[in-house]
Amino acid sequence: MTTTIAESLQLLQHADGEAAIVFDRARLPQAGYGLFEPAAWGGEARPVGERGGRGAAWFVRGEFGEAVLRHYRRGGLVARFNRDRYLWRGADRTRSFAEFRLLAELRGLGLPVPAPIAAGYRRRGLTYTADILVQRIPGARSLAELLGDDLDAPPWARVGEVLAAFHRAGVCHADLNAHNILIDPECAVWLIDFDRGRRRRVADDWRHANLRRLQRSLLKLRGIHAVEAVMRCHRVIVAGYESAWAGEAA
């Protein structure tokens, strides 16, 4: 699945300041900021209901195929007074450009992430808002959704193996939870939502912290399932992870 992205940059102006879009010209010959406006898609933009509760993602379809449009929104306490603005620190450090380029890099490494299609920011003074458009994985369901079904259905060991591949490449996912792991109809495992993700020197502390974060997410979303049943699933993830990690190190 090793691929490269033919990146193009387009600078724009809007009523309050400047804007810019970076996009894959192989998938999108030209781009305007209307690409990131759900209203511009009319009935083609459908809210993504189960993702994280911030109401900032939509399924869309265009010449590039099916995609997910996401508007970056704040979380936690800061969201009470600042819903979606971030401090300007330069175009290359915007949340959207950083995620677009990280996804392109990971695709180049052959890791299972959605292809980035376009990303943009709108700057006003010392702050900006941001948006990203990425490939939708056809027929995929999140691990969070699958938790509502038979616990034997998800490929738990394979999840661990895929996480080991990301960690071996030094990829630290900033929010590794059950919503951000997708299983497609062929039982292939994908990771999504790399906002604030980065590549770093491989170290045991952040590797294990990633796995613990996933464990907390599975327990939080376990629904009717017993804690021990979910813990067994997590142990299978860890076993798959450790097996793959040891195999790659051999």
- For the range 1-9, what are the long-range contacts, defined as Cβ-Cβ under 8 Å and sequence gap of 24 or more? 1/107, 1/110, 1/111, 1/112, 2/107, 2/108, 2/109, 2/110, 3/107, 3/108, 3/115, 4/104, 4/107, 4/108, 5/104, 5/107, 5/108, 5/115, 5/116, 7/101, 7/104
Would you state the pLDDT for residue 50? 52
pLDDT at 199: 97
The segments of the chain whose pLDDT lies below 70 read: 1-4, 50-55, 248-250
For tokens 């299983």, the residue is 183
Q: What angle do CA 156, 162, 165 make, to 5 degrees?
A: 150
pLDDT at 51: 47
pLDDT at 55: 54
Residues 139-190 pLDDT 10s:
999 999 999 888 988 999 999 999 999 999 999 999 999 999 999 999 999 9
Q: What percentage of the chain exceeds 90 in pLDDT? A: 73
Given the residues 84, 92, 149, 175, the one annotated as active site: 175
pTM of structure: 0.92
Joined together, the tokens standing for residue 193 give: 């939502």
Tell me, what amino acid is at 63? Answer: E
Q: Is 152 assigned a catalytic role? A: no
